Amino acid sequence: MDLFDRLNKLRERGLAEIAKVKNEQTLNEVRVKLVGRKSELTEILHSMKDVDPDKRRDIGKQVNKVRDLFNHNLDNVKTEIAKELAEKQLEKERIDVTLPGRTTHVGSKHPINIILDDLEKYFIGMGYQVVQGPEIETDHYCFEMMNLPKDHPARDMQETFYIDTEDLLRSQTSGDQARVLETFDFSKGPLKMVGPGKVYRRDDDDATHSHQFMQMEGLVVDKNITMGDLKGILEMMTKHVFGQDRKTRLRPSYFPFTEPSVEMDVSCFNCDGKGCAICKYTGWIEVLGAGMVHPNVLENAGIDSKIYGGFAFGVGLDRFAILKYGIDDIRDFYTNDVRFLEQFSKEER
Ligand code: PHE
């Protein structure tokens, strides 16, 4: 067959083959076959040596033309395939901006923290400092410095978890009093502090008892502090938290670190003072202990109790939260059920 004929046929066949190519892999196969070193085009070039020298140039030109044409079309197909691939990829990764967004879950403040934060602000506003003692306290600060020597019978009121003979999970925040008193510089003015934090007592958990709860210690020491100052602060604080209408009362009590000592009750949220199971049919719920700082506590910290005196109180924040929000099971505070916690998401943050 004439080499020109052969070239023409090859061109038609080649172009048809290129047109059928659908993917990268066949594209490479077709490229090797049509313009590779062992292609028919190369073969035709080799066979030119048997052709007339004047025809040779024309055939050479024609071979180059066909090769250029093949390469050109192969490149076009290549661009086409790449474009299709990119489109497919885009389609796959398409973002539907009309879909509703995913909301992140915002937690809510724990009811005890709502009360605590509010009280801290309240006391800071009156010039108190906020201190924080360790939850693992020493027997020395928790008891001895607070006028509770090792053999004192009142220790039985607060059975707790000892870690060793000297360290314990504190049963009260009163140790904070001793820690601050020990280092306080009275030349700078009166001592006014609150110390919030978790405390622990060995107890059988039920609706009104928990082996862990939150307390807030309060201490004011200066010259000429009276029981009237204490009563005033306690009443103001309870009215601030519960509103002007809730009734309060003080009862005489006993604590080794205060003399005289009192306990404060708030009228029951559930029966409004008539008597029910929650207030054990008394109409009242005890919320804090308080009293005038015992001289021994001051002397233990190196303070002259003939010059200085003061008052102290310890608030049960769980009780405050129970009364304020009408919660009937103290264990709800510590079991972290979000359905319980979410009820307070509308409260002040
Ligand atoms: N620490 C006492 C308690 O936990 C409360 C209290 C504090 C009483 C300060 C008087 C003064 O029961």
Give the pLDDT score at 158. 83
Mean of pLDDT values over 105-118:
91
Assess if residue 133 is contained within a domain. yes
Assess if residue 173 is contained within a domain. yes
* C-alpha 176 – ligand 1 centre gap (Å): 11
- Among 176, 175, 173, 177, CA closest to 221: 177
Q: In whole angstroms, how far apart are CA 124 and each of 118, 120, 128, 194?
A: 10, 6, 5, 9
Q: Which atom of ligand 1 is nearest to the CA of 177?
A: 9
Q: Are residues 120 and 17 in the same domain?
A: no
Largest pairwise CA distance in the chain: 134
Give the pLDDT score at 127. 97
Give the pLDDT score at 270. 82
Assess if residue 169 is contained within a domain. yes
At 51, give phi and psi (nearest 5°): -100, 155
Q: Are residues 120 and 66 in the same domain?
A: no
* Number of structural domains found in the chain: 2
* C-alpha 149 – ligand 1 centre gap (Å): 16
Q: Are residues 88 and 116 in the same domain?
A: no
Residue whose structure tokens are 């003015």: 189
Mean of pLDDT values over 21-47:
91
Output the pTM of the full model. Answer: 0.71
3-state secondary structure string across the chain: CCHHHHHHHHHHHHHHHHHHCCCHHHHHHHHHHHHCCCCHHHHHHHHHHHCCHHHHHHHHHHHHHHHHHHHHHHHHHHHHHHHHHHHHHHHHCCCCCCCCCCCCCCCCCCHHHHHHHHHHHHHHHCCCEECCCCCEEEHHHHCHHHCCCCCCHHHHHHCCCECCCCEEECCCCCHHHHHHHHHCCHHHCCEEEEEEEEEECCCCCECCECCEEEEEEEEEEECCCCHHHHHHHHHHHHHHHHCCCCCEEEEEEEECCEEEEEEEEEECCCCCCCCCCCCCCCCEEEEEEEEEECHHHHHHCCCCCCCCEEEEEEEEHHHHHHHHHCCCCHHHHCCCCHHHHHHHCCCCC
* C-alpha 188 – ligand 1 centre gap (Å): 26
Q: Are residues 41 and 159 in the same domain?
A: no
Q: Are residues 63 and 166 in the same domain?
A: no
Q: Are residues 20 and 123 in the same domain?
A: no
Q: Are residues 41 and 166 in the same domain?
A: no
Assess if residue 77 is contained within a domain. yes
Assess if residue 175 is contained within a domain. yes
Q: Which of 35, 64, 92 represents a domain boundary (last residue)?
A: 92
Assess if residue 106 is contained within a domain. no
* C-alpha 148 – ligand 1 centre gap (Å): 12
Give the pLDDT score at 348. 60
Assess if residue 314 is contained within a domain. yes
Mean of pLDDT values over 277-302:
94
Q: Are residues 153 and 58 in the same domain?
A: no
Q: Are residues 214 and 66 in the same domain?
A: no
Mean of pLDDT values over 313-331:
92
Give the pLDDT score at 3. 83
Mean of pLDDT values over 17-33:
93
Q: Are residues 36 and 87 in the same domain?
A: yes
> The domain containing residue 187 runs over which residues?
111-347
Give the pLDDT score at 178. 97
Assess if residue 199 is contained within a domain. yes
Percent of the chain with pLDDT over 90: 70
* C-alpha 174 – ligand 1 centre gap (Å): 6
Q: In whole angstroms, how far apart are CA 175 and each of 157, 194, 295, 298?
A: 16, 12, 16, 13
- Ligand 1, CB cutoff 6 Å, lining residues: 172, 174, 255, 258, 289-291, 312-314
Q: Are residues 9 and 153 in the same domain?
A: no
Q: Are residues 86 and 128 in the same domain?
A: no
Residues forming a β-bridge with 253: 261
Give me the CATH number covering residue 204.
3.30.930.10
Given ligand 1 and candidates 179, 213, 255, which is best to mutate, with the most ligand atoms within 8 Å of its CB?
A: 255
Q: Which of 102-111, 180-189, 307-316 has the lowest mean pLDDT?
A: 102-111
Q: Which of 92, 121, 156 represents a domain boundary (last residue)?
A: 92
pLDDT above 60: residue 72: yes
